[in-house]
């Protein structure tokens, strides 16, 4: 009947011993029996072994005494009250064992626990021993298949949902995920309930009898099939949490709006995400004057101009979540108390809001061309307007003293607010990648910037402000990939203030002098310098990067790698493909190195045996046309290395006019079965385009296969 009743005061360890046992009065005989004490139950077997079905004695509500009986010095007297009073005597030969059993029995007969967790037990009936504890206050029955007592039951049994009323002090009941198609009417008689969770079932209606739960404060009805609610909910005066998300409501129920009236109940929030709501009737809005939080994400709202004008009635509203709807034009300048606004993924073109109390604005993945916040939001903490059509950001952002996050990636920005870096002193995260920025605002003040993360990749930056890196003393992540940088400004003279750990500079025009600057970031863990104009790397610079874990220097003009790379103690990944390397340094001291990619170079004399015998998990040496590999070298590899049949390097012949060469290398991987698919489209849309990809499904083989079958269609729709 499911797992044992959970009681945090009892040890999970059982006590087991072959003891002298006597039941009843003094005149009864002693017999040797195998005994097991587990939780609040004493199991007594019919002999000295555990081969028979034991009798179970419930010690809860009982007592234990230390007694001395002639011939039995260490003896316990157990008085059991459940199922009629009876006495059991246990005699011990070992004092240590006796003390353990006494302590355990003492706990078992003490006060019963007030909570029970029988979730995920696949129960059809409640275990009978659960009903011993009449003091139970919190009962979790989530993920079972419990039912009400059928009307045609022949023999009366205990364990149905109808029997829950026996718990006279029950305050919290969780019946989520029990596949219930009807609300159990018997629950309405448990008048002590303060919290009821009956979510994730198949309920289509709530009975009016729910008004009998006069003490109810929290009612969780999400993820059902509800489309209406009874007016009797208005009788639940103490209710302040009502969750109706992911049901089948097509309009906001009037009874919910009425419950937000302070004179009706304590409900302040409307949580109806994931329904099918298309509109909010005017008469319903008029009842929502006191509501503080509205969560209507993932519905079908449109909100025309007339409807948004009527939102002015929500004069206490602090949180509004309209994510994943169909609101294209939103004007909520009348909501003066609004602190949190989330309108992501609406195809929204225009957004106007009141900034008097606004602290959080999330409006990404829209088509916003016009953003108006008035008055300026002086309390703003974070703003995300990524993936829109903005050409400019508001100048008032510089005046937001508390602003910590500004995300404006994937817009049409040509500049940032001119005073942003000087005035927004608390700004920690700046994301403005995939725009058309040609320069950053100046940094003129003498103090330190609070920036910890700056993502500016895929822009048109030619230089950074001269003192930017000197003042960014808290910076951890800097991404400037795919810009037009030819150099970086100097770092802080105090090396301890150069704290960048991840630096991405790929796809620029940076030269050899860059390494001397970058090497002053002594805490670097990830460094990407691929596709620049680097011809030489020097040991003196590389040796300073002792914490480096990942280095990508592919796509440059390097003829050799400095020997110091082979001595970096924490280097795990080294990618140096598409250079003109003729040799490799000795990697025997790089004990952490696992991935080495040196494909598409000009390698000549490299010992595959030496490299693969190290700790490498992946070695890519494809497209080194002059490299000769003797198959006999693989025979000397240790057993853990991939055998020749599982290590593949393939060159693919393509049109010689194309600006690339293509090859693939494969490795055995870490699992017996890899759920991976590779995408290899040598021609995509035209002869000058190709697509390569890899999909890892973890332990699911269907995911990469489905992606592989549909990726061409998806790409054509996206591009």
Give the torsion through C-alpha atoms of 485, 425, 470, 537, to 10 deg: -40
Q: What is the pLDDT of residue 643?
A: 45
Lowest-pLDDT choice from 284-293, 568-577, 642-651: 642-651
Q: Is 260 exposed, middle or buried (0-12, 13-18, 19+ CB in 10 A)?
A: buried
List the single range of 165-174, 326-335, 619-628, 651-660 with lowest mean pLDDT. Answer: 651-660
Question: What's the whole-model pTM score?
Answer: 0.77
d(CA 35, CA 391): 79
State the DSSP string of 597-619. Answer: E--SS---S--HHHHHTTT-SEE
Going from the C-alpha of 25 to that of each of 34, 41, 76, 674, the distances in angstroms are: 21, 21, 14, 68
Q: Is the pLDDT of residue 691 over 70?
A: yes
Distance CA(291)–CA(375), nearest Å, equals 23
Residue count (the chain): 719
CB burial readout 170-205, b (16+ within 10 A) else e? bbbbbbbbbebeebbebbbebebbbbbbbbbbebee
Using one digit for the tens of pLDDT, what is the confidence trace for 389-400?
A: 999 999 999 999
Residue 679: φ, ψ to 5°: -100, 125
> 381, 327, 376, 328: which is closest to 353 by C-alpha?
376
Question: What gap in Å lies between CA 534 and CA 524, rounded to an integer?
Answer: 19
Distance CA 610, CA 436 (A): 48
Q: Which of 348, 397, 355 has the alpha carbon at shortest distance from 369?
A: 348
**Residues 359, 339: contact at Cβ < 8 Å?**
yes
Reply yes or no on whether the pLDDT at 173 is more than 90.
yes
User: For position 641, what pLDDT does the model report?
Assistant: 43
What is the pLDDT at residue 27?
Answer: 65
Partnered with residue 431 across adjacent β-strands are: 407, 455
Residue 140 has pLDDT above 70, yes or no: yes
pLDDT tens digits, 54-77:
888 888 778 999 998 888 889 999
> Given pLDDT bands bounded at 50, 70 and 90, which one contains residue 669?
low
Q: Alpha-carbon distance 709 to 715, whole Å? A: 12
State yes or no: pLDDT of 315 exceeds 70.
yes
Rounded to a whole number, what is the distance in angstroms from the first to the last CA of the chain?
57
The rounded distance, in Å, linking the Cα atoms of 321 and 308 is: 14
DSSP-assigned letter for residue 108: H
Q: How confident is the model at residue 663 (pLDDT cuts 50, 70, 90)?
A: low
**Can you tell me the distance from the alpha carbon of 457 to that of 435, in angstroms, rounded to the nearest whole number?**
9
pLDDT score for 702: 81
Which of 159-173, 293-307, 308-322, 602-616 bottoms out in mean pLDDT, i.e. has the lowest? 602-616
Q: How many CB atoms lie within 10 A of CB 688?
A: 11
Query: For the chain, which residues make up each domain, given as ranges?
Result: 15-109, 671-719
Query: DSSP assignment, residue 101?
Result: H
Map 405-471 to HEC letters: EEECCCCCCCCCCCCHHHHCCCCCEEECCCCCCCCCCCCCCCCCCCCCEEECCCCCCCCCCCCHHHH
CB 565 within 8 A of CB 589: no
Percent of residues, the chain, with pLDDT higher than 90: 66
**Using an 8 Å Cβ cutoff, are 131 and 157 in contact?**
no
Bin 246: left if φ > 0, else alpha if -120 < ψ < 50, else beta: left
Within 8 A by CB and 6+ apart from 356, the residues are: 336, 337, 375, 377
Q: Which of the residue ranges 1-5, 442-446, 461-465 would you say has the lowest mean pLDDT?
A: 1-5
More confident residue, 606 or 223: 223
Q: Give residue-wise pLDDT tens across range 349-387.
A: 999 999 999 999 999 999 999 999 999 999 999 999 999
The DSSP call for residue 590 is: -
Alpha-carbon gap, residue 364 to 366, rounded angstroms: 6
Asked if 510 and 533 touch (Cβ cutoff 8 Å), the reply is yes
Alpha helices in 62-119 (DSSP H): 95-109
| pLDDT number for residue 670 | 53
- How confident is the model at residue 648, as a pLDDT? 43
Question: What confidence category does residue 404 fall into, taking pLDDT thresholds of 50, 70 and 90?
Answer: very high
Distance between CA 371 and CA 385 in Å, rounded?
9
Tens digit of pLDDT for each residue in 469-502?
A: 999 999 999 999 999 999 999 999 999 999 999 9
Cβ neighbour number for residue 672 with a 10 Å cutoff: 6
The Cα 299–Cα 289 span in angstroms is 22
pLDDT of residue 113: 76
DSSP letter at 482? Answer: S
Q: Place 585 in a pLDDT band, splitting at 50, 70 and 90.
A: very high
**Res 634: pLDDT:** 58
Compute the average pLDDT of residues 3-25: 66
Distance CA 42, CA 55 (A): 8
pLDDT tens, position by position, 616-646: 888 899 999 888 776 666 555 555 444 444 4
Q: Please, are residues 518 and 503 in contact by the beta-carbon 8 Å criterion?
A: yes
Beta bridge partners of 320: 294, 341
* Torsion sign across C-alpha atoms 317, 323, 325, 327: positive
Listed in order, strand segments (DSSP E) in 70-147 are 72-80, 86-92, 115-117, 138-140
DSSP letter string, 186-202: GGGG-TT-SEEE--SS-
Measured distance CA(496)–CA(322) in Å, rounded: 45
pLDDT in tens, 16-51: 999 999 987 666 789 999 999 987 888 999 998 888
Q: How far apart are CA 142 and CA 197, in angstroms?
A: 9
Indicate the CATH number of 15-109 among 3.20.20.140, 3.10.180.10, 2.30.29.30, 1.20.1250.20: 2.30.29.30
pLDDT band at 699 (very low <50, low <70, confident <90, very high): confident
For residue 651, pLDDT beyond 60: no
Name the E strands within 530-569.
550-552
**CA dist 79 to 18, 41, 132, 318, 645, Å?**
20, 13, 16, 60, 72
CB count in 10 Å sphere of residue 290: 16
DSSP state of 88: E
Q: What stretches of 519-637 show up as alpha helix (H) in DSSP?
A: 539-542, 608-612
Strand partners of residue 34: 18
């Amino acid at each position: 009947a499911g797992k044992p009743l959970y009681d945090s005061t009892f040890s999970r360890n059982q006590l087991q011993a072959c003891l002298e046992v006597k039941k009843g009065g003094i005149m009864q005989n002693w017999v040797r029996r195998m005994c097991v004490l587990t939780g609040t139950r004493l199991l007594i077997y019919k002999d000295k072994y555990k081969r028979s079905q034991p009798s179970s004695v419930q010690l809860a509500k009982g007592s234990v005494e230390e007694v001395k009986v002639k011939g039995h010095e260490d003896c316990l007297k157990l008085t059991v009250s459940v199922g009629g009073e009876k006495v059991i005597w246990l005699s011990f030969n070992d004092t240590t064992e006796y003390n353990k059993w006494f302590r355990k029995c003492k706990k078992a007969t003490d006060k019963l626990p007030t909570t029970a967790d029988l979730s995920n037990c696949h129960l059809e009936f409640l275990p009978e021993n659960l009903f011993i504890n009449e003091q139970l206050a919190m009962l979790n029955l989530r993920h079972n298949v419990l039912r009400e007592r059928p009307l045609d039951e022949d023999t009366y049994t205990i364990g149905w949902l109808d029997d829950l009323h026996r718990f006279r002090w029950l305050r919290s009941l969780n019946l989520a995920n029990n596949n219930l198609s009807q609300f159990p009417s018997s629950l309405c008689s448990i008048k002590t309930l303060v919290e009821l969770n009956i979510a994730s079932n198949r309920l289509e209606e709530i009975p009016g009898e729910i008004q009998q739960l006069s003490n109810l404060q929290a009612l969780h009805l999400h993820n059902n099939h509800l489309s209406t609610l009874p007016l009797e909910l208005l009788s639940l005066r103490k209710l302040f949490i009502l969750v109706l998300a992911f049901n089948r409501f097509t309009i906001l129920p009037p009874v919910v709006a009425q419950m937000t009236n302070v004179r009706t109940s304590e409900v302040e929030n409307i949580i109806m995400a994931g329904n099918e709501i298309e509109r909010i009737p005017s008469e319903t809005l008029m009842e929502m004057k006191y509501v503080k939080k509205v969560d209507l994400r993932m519905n079908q709202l449109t909100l025309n101009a007339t409807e948004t004008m009527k939102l002015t009635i929500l004069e206490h509203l602090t949180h509004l979540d309209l994510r994943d709807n169909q609101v294209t034009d939103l004007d909520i300048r009348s909501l003066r108390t609004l602190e949190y606004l989330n309108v992501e993924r609406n195809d929204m073109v225009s957004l106007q809001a009141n900034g008097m109390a606004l602290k959080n604005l999330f409006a990404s993945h829209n088509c916003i061309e016009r953003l108006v916040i008035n008055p300026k939001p002086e309390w703003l903490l974070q703003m995300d307007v990524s993936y829109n059509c903005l050409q400019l950001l508001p100048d008032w952002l510089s005046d937001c003293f508390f602003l910590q996050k500004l995300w404006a990636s994937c817009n049409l920005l040509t500049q940032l607010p001119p005073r942003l870096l000087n005035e927004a002193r608390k700004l920690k995260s700046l994301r403005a990648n995939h725009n058309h920025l040609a320069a950053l605002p100046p940094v003129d003040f003498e103090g330190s910037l609070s920036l910890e993360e700056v993502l500016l990749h895929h822009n048109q930056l030619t230089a950074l402000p001269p003192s930017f890196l000197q003042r960014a003393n808290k910076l951890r992540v800097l991404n400037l990939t795919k810009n037009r940088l030819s150099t970086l400004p100097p770092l802080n003279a105090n090396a301890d203030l150069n704290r960048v750990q991840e630096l991405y500079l790929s796809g620029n025009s940076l030269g050899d002098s860059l390494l001397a600057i970058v090497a002053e970031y002594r805490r670097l863990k990830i460094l990407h310098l691929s596709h620049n104009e680097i011809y030489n790397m020097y040991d003196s610079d590389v040796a300073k990067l002792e914490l480096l874990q990942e280095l990508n220097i592919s796509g440059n003009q390097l003829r050799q790698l400095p020997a110091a790379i082979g001595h970096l103690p924490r280097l795990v990944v080294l990618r140096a493909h598409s250079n003109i390397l003729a040799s490799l340094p000795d990697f025997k001291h790089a004990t952490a190195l696992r991935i080495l990619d040196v494909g598409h170079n000009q390698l000549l004399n490299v010992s595959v045996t030496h490299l693969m015998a190290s700790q490498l998990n992946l070695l890519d040496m494809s497209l080194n046309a002059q490299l000769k590999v003797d198959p006999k070298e693989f025979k000397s590899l240790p057993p853990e290395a991939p055998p020749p049949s599982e290590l593949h390097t393939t060159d693919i012949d393509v049109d010689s006019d194309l600006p690339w060469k293509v090859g693939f290398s494969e490795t055995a991987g870490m699992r017996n079965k890899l759920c991976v698919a590779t995408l290899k489209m040598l021609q995509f849309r035209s002869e000058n385009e190709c697509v390569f990809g890899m999909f890892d499904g973890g332990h699911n083989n269907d995911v990469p296969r489905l992606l592989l079958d549909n990726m061409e269609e998806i790409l054509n729709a996206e591009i």
